[in-house]
């Protein structure tokens, strides 16, 4: 197991190096001049020349890359051209918002998806099964941003059940320790702050969780159907084990393996879906920041953030792979 | 035993559990929403106090501030925040561009226009308890003058550079001699600021939030001058410890989310009526509107013209800022046949500004006759105008021998500026009028960032274009000086006579002389016709029903000490 982890981490370093080269080339191939994007209507030729010089954009690209690589190795990812904020600090400040949202969306998908998928399989062909299959198809095809706008319009603007945007009511004077707002409220015993943050999470999590939910429902259903037909289930039934025990020990446990694989893959989808969801709900996570960075040509932010996301994605999948071993001992052996 | 397997009981166990789960989840959602609703009914949360009005004013801004040290900022969202914390020597009368006393109660100018003496408001303290006095004023001027390295950059010390033109030691060869010659704290408590050359716009420029008075001791202690090579916009002072004399003090900044301000209980002037003010960051205009409709915020800026009527009919208050901007159709004379005055005149006669305004600009917008709004010194009532006359346009084109011309027309997409709320609609309106006069154009649409400005300002490969400007302070140099002070790629002409006239007018000291000098220049510009001024649209703010005491300012000099928020 340890060898697996070490080997995967080594591979990660190689992948990141390749990615950094590609990213660097890609970001610089984007049309437009970052100095002009920064200085706006008020730009003067001297100002543009000065900013270009300050950020080294007048150097050959390969030289810029080597400088960048040298800095990265010292943990310095540079600072945003637009705000001067260090990239690492912005990332650590904003990442909790995205994680909070992604975890909420994933929790929703798992908590609702697995039972629904299981039920649909057990009632194969029934109305519930049909509803689940149809609903999940809808969940996959409806774009996240459309659902986000729709949810916001109906549940927030028309019905006033939920806030329209942000992570917390501006009128609440909350203390922030970890920048995970729900957690912060619990840590500081500001219950209303925690509750308010949770309320703000509902709509974005519903929107963002729609695709993983639909996928988990389908995979659980298919997987449960598969396992139900297996010999060991039939044996267990023949032994006269209670149905609840069979379901828990023999069906669900085996059926969950493909579901956990999907969860790992969905981590990436959640991060990209977060860009749209965060923009629609004005959540200050990395998604919305990345979106701004693209429109503003903020090279250091783009490069740094995409590298960070790649690391997070690779680590999540490593964890998923390792977790197979715990769910299914056979994987550990091979 | 098989009987047991087939029996109903055990089979339904997991089912029931799953249903319970689903039911709990649904109930949870319902409870959540119910609570969200009740919380709003109570008016917010822990930050609220009971009683007749709300204690917090929540305003929706469009972006995070760049920094809380105004010297290093040039954007409206930063100044919205710093205006509550800091004050300058001079400010504007609420709702106008006229000068008004602030930390300086009065001032005198020497005859040669080279020195200004300010009498200071007494008994003023910075929010850290340090006194505000003549020495503090000197310290601020000296601080700006002595900025070094990265802090001198155009993206940092933008306003200092554009007003003072140079530092004690210039790191950038493009900079010149500083306008600032020195300052002294006089024994009688007044302070004298000396200039190296007269500058007519000096007092007006001091209303810029960039030149607000700060507690320089606190700046220095927290590394706010960038002397260690670090970006001073990100110093501890600029991110978590700004110290000013204003009606609010800094309380917290959650990046990308909100800035929180608390009432300054020791404020020397009219103390704030709300205990705290919050600027929420909501980038998307529609999201800002929805947040107001939902009661999440009490007001917001940059209301889309299309939303004004909807909001008004739903009972929200709309305030129009007196227009202090100009939208124009730029013409690049470097591209044939636009160098021909007759062609430019034809274009001017072909445009029906009133129709453009009716189709694409907010209600209350007036057509522009020159490159500055009416409330700026030097606006010329009797400037040459080009009335809408399609036949005259066609005739001029014929005289120029250009009956069949086709020119590129650049316009931006994906942007909304105060002077140009919806560029695409404006383009459509103008383009139709031009084609009616026989001027064909090739549309070139580009994203505002990153491409548009680069195309119209950075190169010469453009014909007609839409652009504009919002003024910073009441000085004509801030409009026509910016546009026509030197040869640029945007206009593609070289007219040393005009450039010199603008440079000379900048140094005129008396307001009367300044007025006549700029009136002449405006006439000169409109005869030369480098472009067509279209209009000065009125930007709008929207507020919830219960908000009172907010005065919209043409230069966004909006301080919130008079604002109250009633429960609605």
* A79 close to A68: Cβ distance less than 8 angstroms: no
Q: Is B557 on the interface with A (CB under 8 A)?
A: no
CATH of domain B325-536: 3.10.105.10
Question: Between B334 and A322, whose confidence is greater?
Answer: B334
The percentage of residues in chain A with a pLDDT greater than 90, rounded to a whole number, is: 13
**In Å, how far is A303's CA from the nearest CA of chain B?**
17
Nearest C-alpha in B relative to A177:
B254
The whole-chain average pLDDT of chain A stands at 85
Nearest to B29 among A51, A156, A202 (CB): A202
Distance from CA of B14 to the nearest CA of A (A): 6
The answer to whether residue B14 neighbours chain A at the CB level (below 8 Å) is yes
Q: Which residues of B touch A163 (CB under 8 A)?
A: 36, 291, 294, 296
Q: Domain segments of chain B: what residues?
A: 53-62+247-321+539-567, 86-239, 325-536
Please tell me which of the candidates A192, A240, A297 has its beta carbon nearest to residue B45.
A192
Q: Which B positions 412-441 lie with beta carbon below 8 A of chain A?
A: 414
Three-state DSSP at B106 gives: strand
Between residues A4 and A216, which one has the greater pLDDT?
Answer: A216
Q: Rounded distance, CA A301 to CA A292, Å?
A: 10
Which chain A residue is nearest to residue B149, measuring alpha carbons? Answer: A54
Res A333: pLDDT: 53
Distance from CA of B488 to the nearest CA of A (A): 9
Q: Is B469 exposed, middle or buried (0-12, 13-18, 19+ CB in 10 A)?
A: buried
| pLDDT at B105 (0 to 100) | 97
Query: In the predicted model, what is the mean pLDDT of residues A23-37?
Result: 85
User: What residue segments make up the domains of chain A, in order of their start?
Assistant: 1-74, 91-331
CA distance B175 to chain A (A): 9
Q: Is B284–A247 a contact, with Cβ atoms under 8 angstroms apart? A: no
Number of A/B CB contacts below 8 angstroms equals: 226
Q: Is the pLDDT of residue A241 over 90?
A: no
pLDDT grade, residue A332 (50/70/90)? low
Q: Say what the pLDDT of residue B568 is.
A: 61
By DSSP bridging, strand B564-566 and strand B53-54 are: antiparallel
Please give the DSSP secondary-structure letter assigned to residue B131: B
Q: What DSSP character marks residue B254?
A: E
Distance from CA of A207 to the nearest CA of B (A): 14
Angle between helices A299-327 and A253-280 (to 10 degrees): 160
Beta bridge partners of B456: none
Q: What residue in B sits closest to A179 (Cα-Cα)?
A: B254
The pLDDT of residue A329: 66
- Which residues in chain A touch residue B174, judged by CB atoms under 8 angstroms apart? 46, 49-50
C-alpha separations of B443 from A222, B408, B462 in Å: 54, 6, 11
**CATH 3.90.76.10: does it fit domain B86-239?**
yes
Show which of residues 17-36 on chain B sit within 8 Å of chain A, judged by CB atoms.
17-19, 21-22, 25, 29, 32-36
| CB–CB contact B155 A51 (8 Å) | yes
Q: Which pair of structure tokens corresponds to residue B428?
A: 């459509």
Q: How far is A86 from chain B (nearest CA, A)?
A: 8
The answer to whether the CB atoms of A119 and B13 lie below 8 A apart is: no
**SS3 for B13-61, per residue?**
HHHHHHHHHHHHHHHHHHHHHHHHHHHHHHCCCCCCCCCCEECEEEEEE
Distance CA B419, CA B417 (A): 5
The confidence score (pLDDT) of residue B414 equals: 79
Q: How confident is the model at residue A331 (pLDDT cuts 50, 70, 90)?
A: low
Mutate to test the interface with A, among B8, B21, B33 (most CBs of A within 10 A): B33
Name the residue with higher pLDDT: A316 or A25.
Answer: A25
Instruction: Tell whether B255 lies on the interface with A, counting CB pairs under 8 A.
Output: yes
Contacting residues of B for A31, CB less than 8 Å apart: 450-451
CA distance A302 to chain B (A): 14
pLDDT of residue A321 exceeding 90: no
Pick A41's closest partner by Cβ from B33, B447, B467: B467
In chain B, which residue's Cα lies nearest the Cα of A282? B282
Predicted local distance difference test score (pLDDT) of residue A251: 78
φ, ψ for residue B354, nearest 5 deg: -65, -35
d(CA A103, CA A221): 22
Q: Which CATH class is domain A91-331?
A: mainly alpha
Q: In which region does residue A21 sit, left (phi positive, over 0), alpha (psi from -120 to 50) or beta (all else)?
A: alpha
Q: Mutate which of A165, A184, A291 to disrupt the B interface (most B C-beta within 10 Å)?
A: A165
The DSSP bridge partners found for residue B564 are: B548
Residues of chain B found within 8 Å of residue A167, distances taken between Cβ atoms: 257
- Dist. CA B327–CA B305, nearest whole Å: 15
Cβ pair B278:A47 closer than 8 A: no
3-state secondary structure of B62: coil
The angle, 0 to 180 degrees and rounded to 10, between the axes of the packed helices B511-528 and B496-506 is 160
pLDDT at A31 over 90: no
Contact (CB<8Å) B290/A152: yes
> Residue B542 in contact with residue B318, Cβ under 8 Å?
yes
A131 contacts in B (CB within 8 Å)?
none
ipTM: 0.82
Distance from CA of A189 to the nearest CA of B (A): 13
Residue A171: the pLDDT is 85
pLDDT at res. B22: 46
Pairwise CB contact (< 8 Å): B287 & A119: no
Provide, as residue numbers in chain B, all residues whose Cβ is less than 8 Å from the Cβ of A190. 46
**How would you write the pLDDT of chain B (568 residues) with one tens digit per residue?**
333 333 333 334 444 444 444 444 444 444 444 444 434 333 333 334 444 568 999 999 988 898 999 999 988 899 999 999 999 999 999 999 999 999 999 999 999 999 999 999 999 999 999 999 999 999 999 999 999 988 998 888 989 998 998 999 998 888 889 999 999 999 999 999 999 999 888 999 999 999 999 999 999 999 898 888 788 998 999 999 999 999 999 999 988 889 999 999 999 999 999 999 999 998 888 889 999 999 999 999 989 888 998 999 999 999 998 889 999 999 999 998 999 999 999 999 999 999 999 988 988 898 999 999 998 999 999 999 999 999 999 999 999 999 888 999 999 987 888 899 889 999 999 999 999 999 999 999 998 876 888 889 888 889 999 999 989 888 899 899 989 988 889 999 999 999 999 999 988 878 888 999 999 999 999 999 999 999 999 889 999 999 999 999 999 999 999 999 987 6
Chain A nearest-CA distance from B568, in A, is 15
Q: By CA distance, what is A181's nearest residue in B?
A: B254
Q: A295 vs B44: CB contact, 8 Å cut-off? A: no
In angstroms, the separation between the Cα of residue A140 and the nearest Cα of chain B is 20
CATH code for residues B53-62+247-321+539-567: 3.40.190.10
Q: Which pLDDT score is estimated for B20? A: 47
B450 close contact with A: CB closer than 8 A: yes
Lowest mean pLDDT among A119-123, A251-255, B113-117, B173-177: A251-255
What one-character-per-residue DSSP string does B149-215 give?
Answer: GGGGSTTTSHHHHHHH---SS-SSTT----SEEEEEE-TTS-EEEEESS--TTHHHHTTSGGG-B--
> What pTM was estimated for this model as a whole?
0.84
């Amino acid at each position: 197991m340890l060898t697996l982890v070490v080997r995967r981490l080594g591979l990660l370093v190689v992948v990141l190096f390749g990615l950094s080269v590609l990213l660097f080339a890609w970001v610089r191939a984007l049309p437009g001049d970052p100095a002009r994007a920064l200085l706006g209507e008020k730009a003067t030729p001297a100002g543009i020349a000065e900013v270009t010089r300050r950020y080294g954009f007048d150097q050959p690209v390969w030289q810029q890359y080597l400088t960048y690589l040298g800095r990265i190795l010292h943990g310095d990812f540079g600072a945003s051209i637009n705000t001067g904020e260090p990239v690492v600090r912005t990332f650590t400040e904003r990442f909790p918002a995205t994680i909070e949202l992604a975890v909420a969306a994933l929790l929703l998908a798992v908590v609702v998806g697995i039972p629904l998928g299981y039920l649909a399989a057990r009632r194969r062909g029934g109305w519930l099964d049909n509803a689940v299959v149809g609903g999940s198809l809808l969940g996959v095809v409806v774009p996240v941003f459309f659902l986000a706008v729709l949810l916001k319009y109906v549940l927030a603007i028309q019905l006033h059940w939920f806030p329209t945007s942000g992570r917390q009511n501006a009128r609440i004077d909350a203390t922030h320790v970890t920048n995970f707002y729900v957690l912060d409220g619990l840590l500081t015993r500001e219950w209303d702050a925690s509750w308010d943050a949770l309320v703000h999470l509902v709509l974005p999590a519903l929107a963002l969780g729609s695709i993983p939910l639909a996928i988990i429902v389908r995979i659980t259903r298919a997987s449960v159907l598969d396992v139900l037909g297996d010999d060991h289930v039939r044996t267990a039934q023949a032994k006269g084990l209670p149905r609840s025990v069979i379901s828990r020990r023999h069906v669900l446990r085996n059926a969950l393996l493909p579901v956990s694989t999907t969860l790992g893959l969905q981590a990436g989808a959640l991060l990209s879906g977060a860009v749209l969801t965060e923009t629609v709900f004005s959540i200050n996570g990395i998604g919305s920041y990345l979106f701004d960075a693209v429109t503003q040509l903020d090279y250091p932010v783009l490069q740094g953030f995409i590298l960070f996301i790649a690391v997070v994605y690779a680590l999540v999948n490593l964890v998923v792979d390792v977790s197979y071993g715990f769910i299914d001992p056979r994987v550990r052996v091979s | 035993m098989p009987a047991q397997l087939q029996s109903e009981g055990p089979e339904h166990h997991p089912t029931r559990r799953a249903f319970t789960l689903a039911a709990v989840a649904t109930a949870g959602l319902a409870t959540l929403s119910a609570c969200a609703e009740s919380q709003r009914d109570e008016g917010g949360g822990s930050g609220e106090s009971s009683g007749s009005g709300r204690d917090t004013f929540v305003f929706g801004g469009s972006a995070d501030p760049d920094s809380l040290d105004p010297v290093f900022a040039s954007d409206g969202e930063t100044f919205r925040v710093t205006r509550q914390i800091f004050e300058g020597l001079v400010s504007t009368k609420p709702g106008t561009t006229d000068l008004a006393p602030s930390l300086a109660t009065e001032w005198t100018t020497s005859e040669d226009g080279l020195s200004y003496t300010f009498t200071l408001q007494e008994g003023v303290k910075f929010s850290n308890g340090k006194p505000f006095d003549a020495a503090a004023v000197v310290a601020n001027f000296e601080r700006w003058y002595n900025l070094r390295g990265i802090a001198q950059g155009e993206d940092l010390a933008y306003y200092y550079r554009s007003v003072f033109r140079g530092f004690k030691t210039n790191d950038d060869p493009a900079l010149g001699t500083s306008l600032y010659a020195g300052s002294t704290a006089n024994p009688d408590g007044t302070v004298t600021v000396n200039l190296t050359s007269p500058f007519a716009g000096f007092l007006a420029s001091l209303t810029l939030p960039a030149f607000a008075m700060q507690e320089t001791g606190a700046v220095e202690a927290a590394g706010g001058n960038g002397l260690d090579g670090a970006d001073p916009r990100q110093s501890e002072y600029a991110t978590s410890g700004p110290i000013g004399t204003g009606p609010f003090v800094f309380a917290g900044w959650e990046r990308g989310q909100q800035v929180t301000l608390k009432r300054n209980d020791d404020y020397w002037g009219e103390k704030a009526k709300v205990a705290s003010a919050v600027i929420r960051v909501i980038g998307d205009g529609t999201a800002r509107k929805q947040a107001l409709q939902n009661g999440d915020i009490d007001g917001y800026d940059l209301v889309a013209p299309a939303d004004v009527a909807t909001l008004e009919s739903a009972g929200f208050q709309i305030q129009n800022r007196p227009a202090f901007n100009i939208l124009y159709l730029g013409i690049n004379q470097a591209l044939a046949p636009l160098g021909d005055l007759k062609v430019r005149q034809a274009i001017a006669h072909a445009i029906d500004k009133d129709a453009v305004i009716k189709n694409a600009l907010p209600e209350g917008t007036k057509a522009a006759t020159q490159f500055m709004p009416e409330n700026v010194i030097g606006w010329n009532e009797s400037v040459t105008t080009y009335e809408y006359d399609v036949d005259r346009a066609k005739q001029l084109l014929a005289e120029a021998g250009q009956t069949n011309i086709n020119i590129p027309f650049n316009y931006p997409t994906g942007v909304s500026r105060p002077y140009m709320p919806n560029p695409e609609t404006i383009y459509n309106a103008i383009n139709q009028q031009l084609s009616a006069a026989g001027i064909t154009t090739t549309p070139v649409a580009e994203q505002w960032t990153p491409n548009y400005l680069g195309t119209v300002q950075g190169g010469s490969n453009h014909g007609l274009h839409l652009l504009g400007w919002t003024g910073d302070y009441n000085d004509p140099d801030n409009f026509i000086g910016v546009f026509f002070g030197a040869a640029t790629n945007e206009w593609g002409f070289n007219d040393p006579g005009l450039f010199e006239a603008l440079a000379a007018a900048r140094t005129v000291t008396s307001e009367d002389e300044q007025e006549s000098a700029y009136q002449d220049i405006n006439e000169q510009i409109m005869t030369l016709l480098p472009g067509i001024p279209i209009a000065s649209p009125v930007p709008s703010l929207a507020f919830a029903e219960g908000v009172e005491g907010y005065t919209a300012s043409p230069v966004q000099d909006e301080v919130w000490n008079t604002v109250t928020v009633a429960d609605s």
